[in-house]
Amino acid sequence: SSPADHAARIRWLRTLWSPSATSVEAWESWQQQLLRASVFGQRHVIRTSLHRCSRQRARAFGLKARLSRLLSHPTSVPALAALMRGSGARMLRLSRRNRIKQAMAEYNRLHAGRGQFVAAATYTSNASRPRPASVHVHLDRFRQALRAVERSHRLSTRLLEALEGVAVLHIDYEDLLGDTERTMTAVANFLELQTGGLAPPATRLL
């Protein structure tokens, strides 16, 4: 991405982190500004999410993105750090301890045309279809996916080190799956949100 691309992303983040809920008109104006400033090519998703967002109840505004792809240009990192400190933005870093499984997810996303959640939903919606005991993997493409995962970790770690003074909470994907309630409680506390109803005791992600 070019410096201009990263500058556009900074402008979008600045809009995202400065919502105005003082009136219905101000709220709608902020939503329209956010849509116009979008550089991620997912306006329908953003519009749908905003439609479900209540002006009276909304307390946190954020996005999910790969740090290594969102803002990694050297000139944009200081601007991102200053923006996050000035707006009070906080960062949740979700990573996996098991890099092999992450590489498999990357492999599916890049070469099988679907992510792990789409694949899981496919099998869940068709219970009569048995889950395969083994999967054919193109080794060269898997090595490429594994290198991409390692590069992403290096770049995101380097970016986090440059974001001095920004509040960051590190979460392991395995902990999120294994103890969803405790992990989501930690997230809510980090974001200073109420914990009630975030994750019922019986909830467990599979």
pLDDT at 129 over 70: no
80 vs 60, higher pLDDT = 80
Q: What is the mean pLDDT of residues 31-35?
A: 86
Q: Cα separation of 186 and 166, whole Å?
A: 17
In the prediction, which pLDDT does 186 show? 92
In the prediction, which pLDDT does 123 show? 46
Beta partners for 93?
A: 170
133: buried, middle or exposed (CB in 10 Å: 19+, 13-18, 0-12)? exposed
The b-or-e profile of 62-78 (16+ CB within 10 A means b, else e) is eeeeebbebbbbeebbe
Report the run of H or E that residue 170 belongs to, with start and end: strand 167-172
Q: Cα separation of 173 and 64, whole Å?
A: 14
Q: How confident is the model at residue 3 (pLDDT cuts 50, 70, 90)?
A: confident
pTM of the model: 0.68
pLDDT at 119 over 60: no
How is residue 102 written in tokens?
């992450």
Q: How confident is the model at residue 11 (pLDDT cuts 50, 70, 90)?
A: confident
How is residue 132 written in tokens?
């395969």
CA proximity to 87, closest of 165, 155, 193, 189: 165
Lowest mean pLDDT among 61-70, 105-114, 122-131, 133-142: 122-131
Q: Cα separation of 99 and 90, whole Å?
A: 25
